[in-house]
């Protein structure tokens, strides 16, 4: 179980989280939504210990992010990434997967085949398109054998077919791992409607109801309806 208690985090004078509490079970997909700049990436970074927090506790199965066992059990797919361009896909995947004791190289090969990058594994990463770079990270993620996976904007840059494939892959993986994803896509809200949390007012709140209700709430938090009205008025009078 991932447990966050009384989390407080600031960047300078700006408070990002205030006494944020959240628990996540051992399996299933949780979708985190929220307007731009509210702190979704910071939350993932904080869980993983990449970003320090002011006070509170973050534990995964009793482990803290500075422990080797925590690192071996968790995998992060960030939204912005820089890959070692001089390595081939094969060298890179071997390099990353060897850090994970339960990784499965045979499954990596299978995922590479499913994702259509198998024939490019002997090429250097500088020759990969953005989508191919994303795909190799997804294949590594799926075969890492980790039990906590955090992924930021995971579907960005993926074509339609791959998006559907990855949604189903995550669904299967979530039977034995906890997967927490951040996404802005309405279709993703539809697919993962079981556990949706909205980051708002420096806290993480569980959302219940239909995906339409969730989308309406997200729109309201960002004042989208009011902005749309203002824009319509502007074009009517311009
Ligand atoms: N290293 C940093 N130093 C100072 N402020 C930061 C830093 N990183 C993020 N912030 C600020 O913290 C807030 C949360 O940023 P974060 O990237 O977590 O938001 P987000 O919800 O992921 O946004 P988006 O949907 O645009 O990706 C923003 O106001 C951002 O400007």
Average pLDDT over residues 98-120: 96
Residue 38 Cβ inside 6 Å of ligand 1? The answer reads yes
Residue 183 Cβ inside 6 Å of ligand 1? The answer reads no
Does 132 score more than 80 pLDDT?
yes
Residue 9 Cβ inside 6 Å of ligand 1? The answer reads no
Q: How far is the CA of 134 from the centre of ligand 1 (A)?
A: 22
Closest CA to 123 of 112, 110, 107, 138: 112
State yes or no: ipTM above 0.95: yes
Q: Is residue 78 part of a domain?
A: yes
**Atom 31 of ligand 1 has which residue's CA nearest to it?**
37
Does 220 score more than 90 pLDDT?
no
Average per-residue pLDDT in the chain?
A: 92
Maximal C-alpha separation, the chain:
64
Q: Which of 7, 8, 31, 37 to mutate to test the pocket of ligand 1 (most atoms within 8 A of CB)?
A: 37
Residue 50 Cβ inside 6 Å of ligand 1? The answer reads no
**Tens of pLDDT, residues 9-26:** 999 999 999 999 999 999
Does 209 score more than 90 pLDDT?
no
Residue 16 Cβ inside 6 Å of ligand 1? The answer reads yes
In the chain, the number of structural domains is 1
Q: Is residue 57 part of a domain?
A: yes
| Confidence tier at 212 by pLDDT (50, 70, 90) | confident
Q: Is residue 111 part of a domain?
A: no
Q: How far is the CA of 127 from the centre of ligand 1 (A)?
A: 30
HEC string of the chain? CEEEEEEEEEECCEEEEEEEEEEECCCEEEEEECCCCCCHHHHHHHHCCCCCCCEEEEEECCECCCCHHHHHHEEEECCCCCCCCCCEHHHHHHHHHCCCCCCCHHHHHHHHHHCCCHHHCCCEHHHCCHHHHHHHHHHHHHHCCCCEEEEECCCCCCCHHHHHHHHHHHHHHCCCCEEEEECCCHHHHHHCCCCEEEEECCEEEEECCCHHHHHHHHHHHCCHHHHHHHHHHHHHHC
Q: How far is the CA of 119 from the centre of ligand 1 (A)?
A: 37
Q: Is residue 51 part of a domain?
A: yes
Residue 186 maps to which CATH number? Answer: 3.40.50.300
Does 222 score more than 70 pLDDT?
no
Does 120 score more than 80 pLDDT?
yes
Q: Is residue 102 part of a domain?
A: no
Q: Is residue 95 part of a domain?
A: no
Q: Is residue 103 part of a domain?
A: no
pLDDT at 15: 96
Domain range holding 23?
2-84+144-237
């Amino acid at each position: 179980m991932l447990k966050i208690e009384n989390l407080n985090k600031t960047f300078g004078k700006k408070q990002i989280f205030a006494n944020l509490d959240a628990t996540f079970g051992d399996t299933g997909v949780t979708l985190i939504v929220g307007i731009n700049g509210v702190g979704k990436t910071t939350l993932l970074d904080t869980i993983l210990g990449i970003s320090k927090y002011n006070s509170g506790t973050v534990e995964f199965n009793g482990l803290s992010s500075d422990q080797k066992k925590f690192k071996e059990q968790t995998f992060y797919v960030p939204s912005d990434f820089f890959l070692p361009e001089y390595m081939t896909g094969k060298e890179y995947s071997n390099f990353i997967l060897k850090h994970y004791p339960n990784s499965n190289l045979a499954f990596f090969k299978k995922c590479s085949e499913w994702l259509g990058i198998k024939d490019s594994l002997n090429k250097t990463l500088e020759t990969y398109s953005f989508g191919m770079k994303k795909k190799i990270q997804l294949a590594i993620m799926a075969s890492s054998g980790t039990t906590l996976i955090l992924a930021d904007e995971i579907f960005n840059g993926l074509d339609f077919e791959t998006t559907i494939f990855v949604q189903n892959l995550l669904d299967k993986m979530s039977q034995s791992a906890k997967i927490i994803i951040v996404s802005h896509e309405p279709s993703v809200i539809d697919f993962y409607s079981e556990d949706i949390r909205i980051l708002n007012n420096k806290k993480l709140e569980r959302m219940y109801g239909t995906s339409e209700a969730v989308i309406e709430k997200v729109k309201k938090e960002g004042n989208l309806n009011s902005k749309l009205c203002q824009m319509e008025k502007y074009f009517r009078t311009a």
